[in-house]
Amino acid sequence: MATDTADAIAAPVEAAAAPDLIALFVWLSPAYPVGAFAYSHGLEWAVEAGDIRDMVGLQRWVDDLLRHGGPFTDAVLLAHAWRAARAGDSAGFVEVAELACAFAPSRERQMETLNQGDAFLTATRAAWPAPGLDLLSTAWRGRLAYPVAVGGAAAAHGLPLAATLTGFLTAVAANLVSAAVRLVPLGQTDGNRALAGCASTIRAIAAEAPHVDLDALGGAALRSDIASMRHETQYTRLFRS
């Protein structure tokens, strides 16, 4: 009798097995060939200007971006792209793709998202093909912004939106921290502390982003936007943005 009860309790647990997220882990790892290491999202100018001098300043900068800047808008765009691709909604996917291309506040920021989007889609089609990826090329003939490409691919592979958003935001934050470790410079331990300090914000934004309408999309990280513009004429540069 005790064995029967244990089996009855275990059955629902087995039925609700965790989704296979290996593709997501690979796509958002530093090893995936999107060239993320070459971009600092304007952070290089922020270090030059003295806005970021230490671990505390870095954590505040990244946290603000996650809440109010490019990473937040990217998360919203990713969520809408995922839903459109999942539903086979070509018109909806085109709307998100167009907005993502137009929403970049500077030349370098647009280059950053489009170059990574192109590279992501090329690598994913070659190594992780799926029938649903056809929507990305048939519905939209132009270049795809990075979050739109990731959202569309995740939907094509049946990856859950919540995990995709959390992974994407973590990868974006990690890339910013990695840039700061080289630029400030910071030690690896302080870099890890800064990233760990952003974990609660990553969780909050991943939960919030799917509920934001495209009509309500906007940002308020103006210092970061200015940094991306000033970076275009910065005298010495390690990064492309």
- Tell me the pLDDT tens digit for each residue of 69-111: 999 999 999 999 999 999 999 999 999 999 999 999 999 999 9
Measuring CA to CA, which residue among 159, 155, 161 is closest to residue 206?
161
Q: What is the pLDDT of residue 8?
A: 45
CATH of the domain spanning 54-233, picked from 3.50.30.10, 3.40.50.720, 3.90.190.20, 1.10.4190.10 = 1.10.4190.10
What CA–CA distances, in Å, run from 237 to 76, 156, 213, 231?
A: 30, 37, 36, 8
Do residues 173 and 195 lie in contact, with contact meaning Cβ atoms separated by under 8 Å?
yes
10 pLDDT higher than 50: no
- Whether the predicted pLDDT of 15 surpasses 50: no
Predicted confidence band of residue 7 (pLDDT cuts 50, 70, 90): very low
Residue 136's Cβ-count burial label (10 Å; 0-12, 13-18, 19+) is buried
Q: What span, in angstroms and rounded, lies between the C-alpha atoms of 144 and 205?
A: 23
Provide the percentage of residues in the chain whose pLDDT is more than 70: 93
With the CA atoms of 135, 108, 51 and 31 taken in that order, what torsion angle do they form, in degrees rounded to the nearest 10? 50
Containing H/E element for 146? helix 146-156
Among residues 101, 30, 46, which one has the least CA distance to residue 228?
Answer: 46
Q: Whole-number mean pLDDT of the chain?
A: 91
Stretch 165-192: mean pLDDT? 96
Phi/psi of residue 83, nearest 5 degrees: -65, -45
pTM, entire model: 0.92
- The whole-number average pLDDT for the span 47-69 is 96
Q: How confident is the model at residue 135 (pLDDT cuts 50, 70, 90)?
A: confident
If pLDDT is split at 50, 70 and 90, which confidence band does 16 have? low
Summarize the confidence of residues 163-171 as an average pLDDT. 98
Q: What is residue 9's predicted lDDT score, i.e. its pLDDT? A: 44
First-to-final CA distance of the chain: 65
Half-sphere exposure of 52 (CA within 13 A, CB side): 31
pLDDT of residue 136: 77
Q: Which residue has the higher pLDDT, 18 or 204?
A: 204
Report pLDDT for 17. 72
Averaged pLDDT for residues 38-43: 95
Judge whether residue 225 has pLDDT over 90. Answer: yes
- Give the separation between CA 69 and CA 73, rounded to whole angstroms: 7
Is residue 78 within 8 Å of residue 165, measured between CB atoms?
A: yes
* pLDDT beyond 90 at 133: no
Respond yes or no on whether the N-terminal peptide bond of residue 147 is cis (omega within 30° of 0).
no
132: confidence class by pLDDT, cuts 50, 70, 90: confident
